Chain A
């Protein structure tokens, strides 16, 4: 079983559209993991049945019992996150600021502070309309994205892939280079970086590639909207060559991407032949590389 992660650094370069296209191409051979739990969009293209769902709890928050509190102020003094405030003798936690470290609860001399587990979102396992299994999640509004929910999505995808003898896991990552991305890269076999030829696109892809290098995972790249700026496309191509990053394809700026999203379909179903051929060819390069 091989695990392929699609990332970009910069948001909005086409990760989900391309990952969904691979999902279509691979059908029942693949388990799809939507690791962008912050803004998960894969389900909008794959019409999953949300067959299994469970609540996900992660992290804690402090609660002060004002009946027991003696207003000694030790908690305010110790809290590094300025999460405790008082109005006269009433002490309270500012939920947005509380990190859930539990220091206050531990040192309160009268045990007036307790820690409560935090609801962090929902986790799903679905069958999709194109015969994949989709493992996905929805982070609760404003919940902490420590990478734990991403790790759960990935681990569950691995378990399913192993049990059901699937050949591939396609993981759709989130933008950025922080915890969720690090969590989605851990244990992966191959990375597809989707970039665009803009000053931001190249800047962000270089940063995320540096992260990929730390994990020592083989990387490849798709340049989306390549005709938007031929000069930067050429610079990206040079960079790929100098770093031995596998170049998969250059995709033109095409309304077919937006049209497919509107219809809730993948490019493979709603794009024209040129795009479809291009993505098929890109996959062939990926599959040659991972099966080496």
Chain B
């Protein structure tokens, strides 16, 4: 079973929740924690574990073989992403725009655009006790997070046993990286804060989860600051709030140091219990 922790707004507590939940639940069972925020993965700053596997990850892009090329221009015609340009005397390829669909390569009549690997990041698998922690790190300057997220999910699928629980730390936002990170999740926990920014971005996240047909609930973090508008919105729209985590400078300070909080802050642990119940219910 896959549980994704997501939010529209950044900085609402995705990583705090994902890492603490994984560590807490791992006291009684095997857990796979996956950091799919490949642009800025942070879970690894909180989970101390031993590296057991590391692999460079690639995406496939076309490369031009000048001697085979007749400059017929089919490659440029078939590319929907403007990643291939036929200059008549040269074919230019823009790897950052390429989606690796293979159309130019396979439809080229003279095999002048074979596909080659291009590095996009690194996947690392760590292990500590009952936790398998997998994170991927996108290379700086790479534009597309989605292919790396996709490959990381495929790696996790190979690890996942029948009764394994996978906790996914998702990227912020509501667009393609979030969709990719949550699309296979059985349940999604949207974590927000009780402010107008939190509410506004929660609404966007809810819209996205509804579009994906997800079973989702809300967790309010930093409860006590701000106002009651998030509760009002959830109430009106029949969205379950499974727990609220009190605003606490202690939690913020522990987080800043890279420490887990569930074993030090009783209120936090209670919230994790409510989340566990939600995960276990059918």
A-side residues, CB < 8 A to B, are: 9-13, 16, 38-39, 41, 44, 60, 78, 80-81, 96, 99-103, 106-107, 115, 139, 141-147, 174-179, 181-182, 196-201, 203-204, 207-208, 210-211, 214, 225, 228-229, 232, 253, 255, 258, 261-262, 264
Contact = CB atoms under 8 A, between A and B. Distances in A.
Contacts of B171: 176
Nearest to A15: B10
Contacts of B172: 11, 38-39, 175-176
Interface in B202-256: 204, 207-208, 210-212, 225-227, 249, 252-253, 255-256
A99 B37 CA distance: 20
Chain A contact residues: helix, strand, loop or mixed: loop
B87 interface: no
A121 B80 CA distance: 20
B88 interface: no
B212 A96 contact: yes
A215 B78 CA distance: 31
Contacts, number: 182
A199 B42 contact: yes
A208 B40 CA distance: 9
A12 B173 contact: no
A211 B141 CA distance: 6
Contacts of A255: 225
A210 B144 CA distance: 17
Contacts of A201: 256
Kindly list the 4 A-B residue pairs having the minimum CB-CB distance in the complex, ordered from nearest: A11-B10, A12-B11, A101-B101, A145-B175
B99 A99 contact: yes
B103 interface: yes
B174 interface: yes
B146 to A, nearest CB: 9
B176 interface: yes
B42 to A, nearest CB: 4
A253 B45 contact: no
A178 B103 contact: no
Contacts of A178: 39, 138, 142-145, 177
A99 B81 CA distance: 10
B227 A262 contact: yes
15 contacts: A11-B11, A38-B173, A38-B204, A39-B10, A41-B201, A44-B196, A44-B197, A102-B103, A103-B107, A197-B256, A198-B257, A207-B39, A207-B40, A214-B140, A228-B249
